[in-house]
Amino acid sequence: MAPKTIIEKIWDQHVVREEAGQPDLLYVDLHLVHEVTSPQAFESMRLQNRKVRRPDLTFATVDHNVPTINRDLPNPDPLSDQQIRVLRENCHATGIPLFDIFNINQGIVHVIGPEQGLTQPGMTIVCGDSHTSTHGAMGALAFGIGTSEVEHVLATQTLPQLKPKTMSVEVTGTLSPGVTAKDVILEILQTIGVDGGIGHVIEYRGEVIRSLSMEGRMTICNMSIEGGARAGLVAPDDTTFAYLKGRKYAPQGEAWDRAVEEWRALATDEGAVFDKYVTLRGEDIVPTVTWGTNPAQSVSVTATVPDPESFETPQKREGAERSLKYMDLKAGTRIEDIAIDRVFLGSCTNSRIEDLRSAAKIVEGRKVAPTVTAMVVPGSGLVKKQAEEEGLDQIFVEAGFEWRDPGCSMCLGMNPDILLPGERSASTSNRNFEGRQGPGGRTHLVSPEMAAAAAIVGHFVDVREWVK
């Protein structure tokens, strides 16, 4: 048999039906649902008298617009409240399990899937959210879909899909202290550009990827979509199995051993060919800060804001000029001289326990700069609980951070956690688009360590100096 990539193996195992001239019909092993992209799908199902085919392969939570404070009070936003209520009713009517707002397991959909052990190697996973690619860290083929497709999956547990192209992104060698998975993915995005991955699924490979924890791999796979790729994944290995073992939905006992055997066979075969190859050296990667309004516009923290004239194409030059204008930055300004107003530690990119631990290490015994407002929004109720058991909340609170309840929060600004016009943030999230964190807000994407250090000094700073 011809050698195959992990992407092709998972694909082939899920084809329900193929016919020349048509997309393959792909089976979906797990469908994650949240309050924002699902109401229209459920409504349309009702109108057409269609039933949810597999509530037992579907899971829902509320995350995008939940408040992160005062949850015991009535929701201040009637529209958000309605959206949450509608999801509750839809789940109730269709038998889909839901982690509701007061459930300890509630959290960002891409944090809770792996945390519960629902996300497993070799699965196909979809969700009405582009960062579904996060689940690829477990060796799953996971991608975001729109509301019409949400309805399609609810009704049929399948999706017609065109076979994607494959892309190998290899990161060789090792990372220096203070350089994190976030810096790796920002560097990858700078290399491939925001549209370099269109039509592709990425397999992340190489020693640097192998040496990362599951949290780090999730950070990387999470931002695959920022490079235009529908999905990104890492082949499962002992790190994956150690993370998964014993989790609530993971196979137990004899089934576990059988599962591990199947999962090991998923790895890309020797000699398999990808449609595209990119290689980076771990040693070249440094703590990175975005300066623009897309995630590929980034530089080293020790560098300066680039001159738009330095870009090759007129389009890129124009884009950079627009970005700098929106960000109110001048070419040549040292990144370390950029003062910030807000720090957001959270989002499905960087709100897991390891992210909070490494940020807390930077913060411990220090105080947030008087000019900065900083908040920590754990990715899930379980992350929050674990952090509190480890005393991380105390470290953050004593330093002057706000300690919030789990949700998407300031990552997309659907709840009251937003930047004010003109405010500048250091954010551990994944998108620095214009107005993403609030109309007129200016976002710089960084790692949790870099965000924590910036909170302390009030401007960006090379965190490598702090972790020596």
Give burial (CB, 10 Å; 0-12/13-18/19+) of 253. exposed
- By CB under 6 A, name the one of 101, 244, 286, 408 that touches ligand SF4: 408
Draw the binding track, 110-129, toward ligand SF4 (x: CB under 6 A; -: no contact): x------------------x
Residue 446 Cβ, how far from ligand SF4 at the closest point, in Å?
15
Is 417 one of the binding residues for another protein (CB under 8 A)? no
User: 266 or 408: whose CB is closer to ligand SF4?
Assistant: 408
- By CB under 8 A, name the one of 110, 135, 152, 404 that touches another protein: 152
Q: For residue 228, how many other CB atoms are within 10 A of its CB?
A: 18
Residue 414 Cβ, how far from another protein at the closest point, in Å?
5
- By CB under 6 A, name the one of 123, 145, 363, 411 that touches ligand SF4: 411
User: 48 or 370: whose CB is closer to another protein?
Assistant: 48
Q: How far apart are the first and last CA of the chain?
A: 50
User: 308 or 378: whose CB is closer to ligand SF4?
Assistant: 378
Residue 308 Cβ, how far from another protein at the closest point, in Å?
14
Instruction: Say which entry of ligand SF4, another protein, none residue 108 contacts (CB below 5 to 8 A, set by partner kind).
Output: ligand SF4
- 132 vs 179: CA distance, rounded Å: 25
Sheet with 165-172, edge to edge strand ranges: 231-233, 200-205, 165-172, 276-281
Question: For residue 159, what is the enclosing H or E element?
Answer: strand 158-161
Contacts of 460 by beta carbon, 8 Å cutoff, 6+ apart = 289, 301, 335, 336, 338, 340, 426, 444, 446, 450, 454
Q: Across 313-370, where does the E strand assignment appear?
A: 342-345
Residue 418 Cβ, how far from ligand SF4 at the closest point, in Å?
13
Draw the binding track, 241-280, toward another protein (x: CB under 8 A; -: no contact): -------xxxx---x--xx--x------------------
Residue 152 Cβ, how far from ligand SF4 at the closest point, in Å?
21
Q: Are 327 and 335 in contact (CB under 8 A)?
A: no
Residues 57-96 that bind another protein (CB under 8 A): 57-59, 64-65, 77, 79-80, 82-83, 86, 95-96
Placement of tokens 């004899």 in the chain: 254
User: 286 or 382: whose CB is closer to ligand SF4?
Assistant: 382
- Among the listed ranges 112-120, 304-312, 333-341, 395-403, the one in contact with another protein (CB under 8 A) is 112-120
Largest CA-CA distance found in the chain, in angstroms, rounded: 64
**What are the backbone dihedrals phi and psi of residue 434, each rounded to the nearest 5 degrees, phi first?**
-50, 130
User: 35 or 129: whose CB is closer to ligand SF4?
Assistant: 129
Residue 150 Cβ, how far from another protein at the closest point, in Å?
9
Residue 244 Cβ, how far from another protein at the closest point, in Å?
11
Q: Are 180 and 449 in contact (CB under 8 A)?
A: yes
- Among the listed ranges 147-155, 239-247, 272-280, 407-415, the one in contact with ligand SF4 (CB under 6 A) is 407-415
What token pair was written down for 141? 């083929």
Instruction: Say which entry of ligand SF4, another protein, none residue 230 contacts (CB below 5 to 8 A, set by partner kind).
Output: another protein
- 235 vs 269: CA distance, rounded Å: 11
Sheet with 373-376, edge to edge strand ranges: 402-403, 373-376, 342-345, 424-427, 442-445
Residue 135 Cβ, how far from another protein at the closest point, in Å?
12
Instruction: Say which entry of ligand SF4, another protein, none residue 348 contacts (CB below 5 to 8 A, set by partner kind).
Output: ligand SF4
Q: For residue 389, how many other CB atoms are within 10 A of its CB?
A: 9
Instruction: Say which entry of another protein, ligand SF4, none residue 182 contacts (CB below 5 to 8 A, set by partner kind).
Output: none
DSSP state of 313: S
Placement of tokens 């999962």 in the chain: 263
Residues 126-145 that bind ligand SF4 (CB under 6 A): 129, 131
Rg, the chain, Cα only: 21
Instruction: Say which entry of ligand SF4, another protein, none residue 251 contacts (CB below 5 to 8 A, set by partner kind).
Output: another protein
User: 66 or 250: whose CB is closer to ligand SF4?
Assistant: 66
Instruction: Say which entry of ligand SF4, another protein, none residue 347 contacts (CB below 5 to 8 A, set by partner kind).
Output: ligand SF4
- 194 vs 227: CA distance, rounded Å: 4
Draw the binding track, 44-83, toward ligand SF4 (x: CB under 6 A; -: no contact): -------------------xx-------------------
Number of residues that bind another protein (CB under 8 A): 85
**What are the backbone dihedrals phi and psi of residue 384, each rounded to the nearest 5 degrees, phi first?**
-60, -45
Instruction: Count H helices and E strands in the chain, helices first.
Output: 15, 19
Q: Which residues bind ligand SF4 (CB under 6 A)?
A: 63-64, 108, 110, 129, 131, 347-348, 408, 411-412, 429-430
